[in-house]
A and B are shown apart, each in its own frame.
Chain A
Amino acid sequence: MRCPHCGLPGLFPNVRAAQAEPERQALDRRYEDALAAAGIRGARGAVEAFEAAARSSKAVAARSMRELDRLSESDKELFPSYYGMLKGQVRMPHGNEWDILRGIADDALFPGYKEEIRFAALSLDGVGLTRYGECSFVLRESMIAHRATVYEENSTLSMKRHAYEAPPGHRATWEDRAKLCVAKTAGDIQAETGAELFPKLLLDQGATSREDRFVEVHVWGPMTIRSVERVVVGTLRRQAFRKALRDRLAGFDAVLEETR
């Protein structure tokens, strides 16, 4: 993106939108209110512990095993955006109400640049929203921090609920993600809430996609396997599959992790 007047490279538009003063001020207000409320009910310590954890949260993109195979083959293989896939004729729209909702929401939230946005979710344990794919790609912070923003929840549903006008203070830059997490989640944290519950507070997979609870990550621009530091998968059927993935990922300085 370049300035139409001077031609100088511009910032990433999603980051610029999150950095807008009204957004920052609204987020700060929500954050302070959440902390104050937590203090009143004696949960300030637990909320601060949650905030510290959220500061180390990762952006995790869930993809299928087939995508993992493709992406781990070469660093010339790209993570496509949803619209890139449609445009490149490598996938069809879902053919349901989500197409319409998503299209309107993305146009409103990412005006003129929705094709550039890749979606992920914040996670504390490296596991993403597995309904979108059994492989969780933990994105490398150094590769995305400057171009990633976070949004309160599933943006498609949120934008519909808010008549397609993003409410101020519901998005944040990458470095302010912990503030947004606190503003959103502090109300659910009690004094006795332990750290072991934090991952589920941040990302909770519901029975349906509407019931998923998570903080959405928007990354502007291309990514490859080099943008990934870790891939978390379920138990693989064959030992050779595990070893082959481990070998391939090691070539890009990424590690494979299996969950039970």
Chain B
Amino acid sequence: MNAVISGQAGVAVLVDGMKLASIHAGSHGEVIDRRPQEVRFLLNDALDLEFLENIGPDEASRRLETATAKYDALHLALILLDEELSSDTRQTAAQELEELLGEGQEVADFPARVLFSRPFPRGADPAGARACCTVQTPRVRGLIENLVELQPVISEVFQAWQQIQVDVFGSKEDRIQVLATAVKEGIFRDFVLLRAADSTAEAFRALALLKPSFVAIKKHRLIIRKWLSALQVRNRDRGLVRPPTYASRMSVPVKDDNSVLRILCLADQHEANLASDLERAIRLFDLRTEVEVFASRDATLKSLRQAILETNFDVLHFSGHGAFDVSADKPVLFIDSDDGAILPLRSADLVRALDVSSAPRLIVLQACASVGKSSFEPFSQMARALAQQGIPAVLAVQSFVASGVTRIAFAHFYRLLAAGYSIVDSMTPAVETIKRMELTSHANLDWVTPVLFMRTARGELKKERWDGPDRSGRPRRSIRWLGFRRKR
């Protein structure tokens, strides 16, 4: 079955051969049979049509709710900014927008992706919008403050876009199409953030090239070049981040046949492209980097077990959600069960599934950026528990930054690991990457919070032997905190 989804119209049209049906936002997935002549009325004049192939009604319904929430979030942000509306209306918009911004990264990102794409129009009242925010709406206040702070940069990036000649795109229609793709993929937002952080051209290119639908555009490299040229982005640094000086002094080991770093990615459906994005990001740095990234067939324990049996992985990279099992007072990660339900996974279950003797030497637990800071606690607790049970090194990370930036940071981390640098030495420039690429005004948030537990002496993944658990069951290396906070 295929589907056409519009968040603007709040409708998903399902096409199964000659049969047509629709699902409406807020209808809890109820499927209504339709005739062909009804379809255009259902979608009306919506401009945000999304075409999906081989999709079931449940998934279509879920995608519809997300698409609708994205559209609603943008609409609410515009209401909040509208000077002609009453304070009561704008306050309600702020409250409802706050709820949506907490729903998930995809929804939370969307208003920023659009609003960062052009300067405020006449009639926008950011000061009034800010005044309508309260302590109950911190995310909305953050969004408005970022928009206000970055207006000059937004204007600069927009003007630079305007300077790209139409013939670069092909035609006016092509230009509109590319613009829509760039906005939808968050390229304007990312460029504004990079510009604000005075990043190099490589950083701009790297981020743009991580966006699949933008890369699918025929002249995307030329467009980026013209855009950056109009922006007069500095080009002097080669490479995003240089390894730290102490690491540079270390001798990089000569690789043998076993020196390929193999990473297995286990991600929930929100991060379905994790492995391919990581792979692409790593290749952006260096095509010769000996890293192989694998995606688990699905996020189930069974697939994980099978993958571990088939291949000798160095790293297991988990990205998803976690929580505390209150009844057992233990942290759990959530993975999919074989029957499609969500399964809480304790550290002991994971260690059993991996088998310590053949387990990857490093487990990375990446908390979904949409969870709050307090929800990161299960990840750090889980990291400790896994290390206690014999996993050589466990790194728990949460970053409150755009997923593209996180990917680049991880790509840099893995590339350095593969080159023989220690975990700590690889982590430092990765965090630096985020610091350089990200916005400088995420109020009250850490840039990135890595917590590392190690049983090895130096954490050099490819070189060191590691010791088994000591009698106390504690990791030999004490906990390393690398809390990188922004300067206030």
Contact = CB atoms under 8 A, between A and B. Distances in A.
Interface of A: 64-67, 91, 94, 131-134, 207-209, 237-241, 243-244, 246-248, 251
Given A66-B45, A238-B75, A240-B96, 11 more contacts: A64-B44, A131-B41, A134-B44, A237-B26, A238-B76, A239-B92, A240-B97, A241-B75, A243-B93, A244-B93, A247-B84
Closest 7 CB pairs of A and B: A243-B89, A64-B44, A240-B93, A240-B92, A244-B79, A131-B41, A247-B85
B45 A240 contact: no
B37 A208 contact: yes
A207 B41 CA distance: 13
Given A241-B79, A247-B84, A66 B8 contact: yes
A235 B126 CA distance: 29
A67 B8 CA distance: 12
Contacts of B398: none
Interface string B46-83: 10000000000000000000001000100110010010
Contacts of B95: 240
A238 B9 CA distance: 14
A134 B10 CA distance: 12
Given A66-B46, A94-B40, A132-B41, A244 B89 contact: yes
B44 A66 contact: yes
B145 to A, nearest CB: 20
19 contacts: A64-B44, A133-B44, A207-B35, A208-B35, A237-B10, A237-B26, A237-B68, A238-B96, A239-B96, A240-B76, A240-B89, A241-B79, A243-B86, A243-B88, A243-B89, A243-B92, A244-B85, A244-B89, A248-B85
A248 B41 CA distance: 25
B38 interface: yes
Interface residues of B, number: 29
Interface string B89-104: 1001101110000000
Contacts of A132: 41
Contacts of A251: 84
A247 B86 contact: yes
B176 to A, nearest CB: 13
Given A240-B93, A243-B86, A67 B76 contact: no
Name which of B72, B76, B89, B93 has the most chain A CB atoms within 10 A of its CB: B89
A244 B93 CA distance: 9
Nearest to B123: A73
**Residue among A94, A132, A244, A246 facing the most chain B CB atoms (10 A cut-off):** A244
B25 interface: yes
Nearest to A62: B41
A91 B89 contact: no
Contacts of A65: 44
A237 B45 contact: no
A82 B322 CA distance: 54
Contacts of B97: 240
Contacts of A246: 89
Given A66-B45, A247-B84, A237 B72 contact: yes
Nearest to A207: B35
Nearest to B43: A64
Nearest to A247: B85
B45 A91 contact: yes
A188 B76 CA distance: 47
Nearest to B41: A131
Contacts of A244: 79, 82, 85, 89, 93
Contacts of A240: 76, 79, 89, 92-93, 95-97
Contacts of A66: 8, 44-46
A240 B72 CA distance: 10
Contacts of A131: 38, 41
A66 B43 CA distance: 11
Nearest to B95: A240
A247 B40 contact: no
Nearest to B46: A66
Contacts of A248: 84-85
B255 to A, nearest CB: 57
A133 B9 CA distance: 10
Contacts of B72: 237-238, 241
Contacts of B46: 66
A12 B434 CA distance: 67
Contacts of B82: 244
A243 B46 CA distance: 22
Nearest to B94: A240
